[in-house]
Amino acid sequence: MGILEIRTFPDKVLKVRAEEVKDINGEIARLAEDMLETMYNAPGIGLAAPQVGKSLRVIVFDISHKEGEKRPYILINPVVTATEGSEVMEEGCLSVPGVYAHVKRAAKVEVKGYDLDGKEVTLQAEGLLARVIQHEVDHLDGILFIDRLSRIRREMIKKRLLREKG
Protein backbone atom coordinates (compact mmCIF):
# COMPACT_ATOMS: atom_id res chain seq x y z
CA MET A 1 0.00 0.00 0.00
CA GLY A 2 1.05 3.56 -0.48
CA ILE A 3 0.05 7.16 -0.31
CA LEU A 4 -0.86 8.59 -3.69
CA GLU A 5 -0.54 12.16 -4.98
CA ILE A 6 -3.80 14.06 -4.70
CA ARG A 7 -4.50 16.00 -7.88
CA THR A 8 -5.69 19.57 -7.41
CA PHE A 9 -7.55 22.15 -9.48
CA PRO A 10 -7.00 22.80 -12.41
CA ASP A 11 -5.73 19.25 -13.18
CA LYS A 12 -7.61 18.00 -16.26
CA VAL A 13 -8.29 14.52 -14.80
CA LEU A 14 -10.70 16.21 -12.38
CA LYS A 15 -12.91 17.49 -15.21
CA VAL A 16 -13.60 14.33 -17.22
CA ARG A 17 -16.14 11.57 -16.65
CA ALA A 18 -14.37 8.53 -15.18
CA GLU A 19 -14.58 5.14 -16.92
CA GLU A 20 -16.60 2.28 -15.48
CA VAL A 21 -14.59 -0.50 -13.90
CA LYS A 22 -15.07 -3.59 -16.10
CA ASP A 23 -13.15 -6.10 -13.98
CA ILE A 24 -12.92 -5.90 -10.18
CA ASN A 25 -9.50 -7.45 -9.72
CA GLY A 26 -6.36 -7.17 -7.59
CA GLU A 27 -5.33 -3.95 -9.31
CA ILE A 28 -8.64 -2.30 -8.34
CA ALA A 29 -8.34 -3.64 -4.78
CA ARG A 30 -4.81 -2.18 -4.49
CA LEU A 31 -6.03 1.15 -5.87
CA ALA A 32 -8.89 1.23 -3.32
CA GLU A 33 -6.55 0.38 -0.43
CA ASP A 34 -4.06 3.05 -1.53
CA MET A 35 -6.94 5.54 -1.84
CA LEU A 36 -8.04 4.78 1.73
CA GLU A 37 -4.50 5.23 3.02
CA THR A 38 -4.20 8.49 1.08
CA MET A 39 -7.58 9.74 2.37
CA TYR A 40 -6.72 8.98 6.01
CA ASN A 41 -3.30 10.57 5.62
CA ALA A 42 -4.65 13.79 4.04
CA PRO A 43 -6.80 13.78 6.29
CA GLY A 44 -10.15 13.54 4.55
CA ILE A 45 -13.46 11.69 4.73
CA GLY A 46 -13.86 10.79 1.06
CA LEU A 47 -11.78 10.32 -2.07
CA ALA A 48 -12.54 9.47 -5.69
CA ALA A 49 -10.10 7.76 -8.07
CA PRO A 50 -9.81 10.82 -10.38
CA GLN A 51 -8.43 12.74 -7.39
CA VAL A 52 -5.40 10.43 -7.46
CA GLY A 53 -5.08 10.57 -11.23
CA LYS A 54 -7.02 7.39 -12.08
CA SER A 55 -10.03 8.00 -14.31
CA LEU A 56 -12.00 5.06 -12.90
CA ARG A 57 -15.37 4.94 -11.11
CA VAL A 58 -14.07 4.06 -7.64
CA ILE A 59 -14.79 5.98 -4.43
CA VAL A 60 -13.78 5.47 -0.82
CA PHE A 61 -15.14 7.19 2.26
CA ASP A 62 -15.23 6.99 6.05
CA ILE A 63 -17.12 9.52 8.15
CA SER A 64 -16.34 7.88 11.51
CA HIS A 65 -14.87 10.42 13.87
CA LYS A 66 -13.76 8.26 16.77
CA GLU A 67 -10.00 8.02 17.01
CA GLY A 68 -8.82 4.52 16.17
CA GLU A 69 -12.21 3.36 14.95
CA LYS A 70 -12.29 3.20 11.18
CA ARG A 71 -15.35 2.23 9.14
CA PRO A 72 -14.17 2.49 5.54
CA TYR A 73 -16.44 2.02 2.55
CA ILE A 74 -15.31 1.19 -0.97
CA LEU A 75 -17.80 1.53 -3.82
CA ILE A 76 -17.08 0.63 -7.41
CA ASN A 77 -19.25 2.02 -10.23
CA PRO A 78 -21.55 3.82 -7.75
CA VAL A 79 -24.85 5.23 -8.99
CA VAL A 80 -27.17 7.42 -6.96
CA THR A 81 -30.55 5.77 -7.57
CA ALA A 82 -32.81 7.93 -5.38
CA THR A 83 -32.70 11.27 -3.59
CA GLU A 84 -34.97 12.95 -1.07
CA GLY A 85 -35.16 16.45 0.33
CA SER A 86 -32.37 18.99 0.32
CA GLU A 87 -30.05 20.72 2.73
CA VAL A 88 -27.20 23.19 2.60
CA MET A 89 -23.93 22.45 4.37
CA GLU A 90 -20.36 23.66 4.13
CA GLU A 91 -18.06 21.52 1.99
CA GLY A 92 -14.38 21.40 1.27
CA CYS A 93 -12.32 19.16 -0.99
CA LEU A 94 -8.82 17.73 -0.99
CA SER A 95 -8.57 18.69 -4.68
CA VAL A 96 -9.57 22.30 -3.99
CA PRO A 97 -7.38 23.01 -0.95
CA GLY A 98 -8.24 25.88 1.34
CA VAL A 99 -11.69 26.49 -0.16
CA TYR A 100 -14.91 25.96 1.76
CA ALA A 101 -18.41 26.89 0.63
CA HIS A 102 -22.04 26.10 1.36
CA VAL A 103 -23.48 23.66 -1.19
CA LYS A 104 -27.08 22.48 -1.60
CA ARG A 105 -27.44 18.71 -1.95
CA ALA A 106 -30.05 16.02 -1.37
CA ALA A 107 -30.63 15.29 2.33
CA LYS A 108 -31.03 11.54 1.73
CA VAL A 109 -29.73 9.28 -1.01
CA GLU A 110 -29.75 5.68 -2.09
CA VAL A 111 -26.63 4.53 -3.89
CA LYS A 112 -25.90 1.24 -5.61
CA GLY A 113 -22.49 -0.04 -6.54
CA TYR A 114 -20.18 -3.00 -6.09
CA ASP A 115 -17.79 -4.04 -3.35
CA LEU A 116 -14.34 -5.53 -3.92
CA ASP A 117 -15.87 -9.02 -4.21
CA GLY A 118 -18.02 -7.86 -7.13
CA LYS A 119 -21.17 -8.13 -5.03
CA GLU A 120 -23.83 -5.48 -5.63
CA VAL A 121 -24.43 -3.32 -2.56
CA THR A 122 -27.09 -0.71 -1.80
CA LEU A 123 -26.61 2.01 0.80
CA GLN A 124 -29.23 4.32 2.27
CA ALA A 125 -27.59 7.48 3.58
CA GLU A 126 -28.54 10.79 5.10
CA GLY A 127 -26.75 13.77 6.59
CA LEU A 128 -22.97 13.85 6.24
CA LEU A 129 -22.78 10.37 4.70
CA ALA A 130 -25.27 11.33 1.96
CA ARG A 131 -23.28 14.51 1.28
CA VAL A 132 -19.95 12.67 1.03
CA ILE A 133 -21.40 10.09 -1.37
CA GLN A 134 -22.85 12.82 -3.62
CA HIS A 135 -19.58 14.79 -3.51
CA GLU A 136 -17.50 11.75 -4.48
CA VAL A 137 -19.91 10.60 -7.22
CA ASP A 138 -19.70 14.16 -8.61
CA HIS A 139 -15.92 13.67 -8.92
CA LEU A 140 -16.58 10.60 -11.07
CA ASP A 141 -18.62 12.81 -13.40
CA GLY A 142 -15.95 15.52 -13.62
CA ILE A 143 -17.80 17.88 -11.27
CA LEU A 144 -16.05 19.74 -8.44
CA PHE A 145 -18.07 21.15 -5.55
CA ILE A 146 -17.19 24.67 -6.70
CA ASP A 147 -19.05 23.89 -9.94
CA ARG A 148 -22.23 23.85 -7.82
CA LEU A 149 -21.73 27.45 -6.67
CA SER A 150 -23.00 30.60 -8.35
CA ARG A 151 -21.05 31.56 -11.48
CA ILE A 152 -19.60 34.67 -9.84
CA ARG A 153 -18.46 32.85 -6.68
CA ARG A 154 -17.04 29.97 -8.75
CA GLU A 155 -15.06 32.30 -11.02
CA MET A 156 -13.66 34.22 -8.03
CA ILE A 157 -12.47 30.98 -6.45
CA LYS A 158 -10.96 29.68 -9.70
CA LYS A 159 -9.07 32.93 -10.30
CA ARG A 160 -7.72 32.88 -6.74
CA LEU A 161 -6.62 29.24 -7.04
CA LEU A 162 -4.89 29.87 -10.38
CA ARG A 163 -3.13 32.93 -8.95
CA GLU A 164 -1.93 30.88 -5.95
CA LYS A 165 -0.60 28.14 -8.27
CA GLY A 166 1.58 30.76 -9.92
Q: Specify the amino acid at residue 102.
A: H
pLDDT at 65: 65
Reduce the DSSP state of residue 99 to 3 states and report it. strand
Angle in degrees, CA 30, 55, 137, rounded to 5:
95
pLDDT band at residue 126, thresholds of 50, 70 and 90? very high
What average pLDDT does the chain have?
A: 95
Could you tell me if 79 and 111 are in contact, meaning their C-beta atoms sit under 8 angstroms apart?
yes
pLDDT at 166: 74
Pick the CATH number of 12-165 from 3.40.50.970, 3.40.350.10, 3.90.45.10, 3.40.47.10: 3.90.45.10
How many Cα atoms are found within 13 Å in the side-chain-facing hemisphere of 31? 23
Mean pLDDT of 48-53: 98
Q: Which long-range contacts (C-beta less than 8 Å, at least 24 apart) are formed by 85-90?
A: 89/128, 89/131
Q: Which residues are catalytic?
A: 136
Closest CA to 57 of 97, 112, 119: 112
pTM (two decimals): 0.95
pLDDT at 164: 87
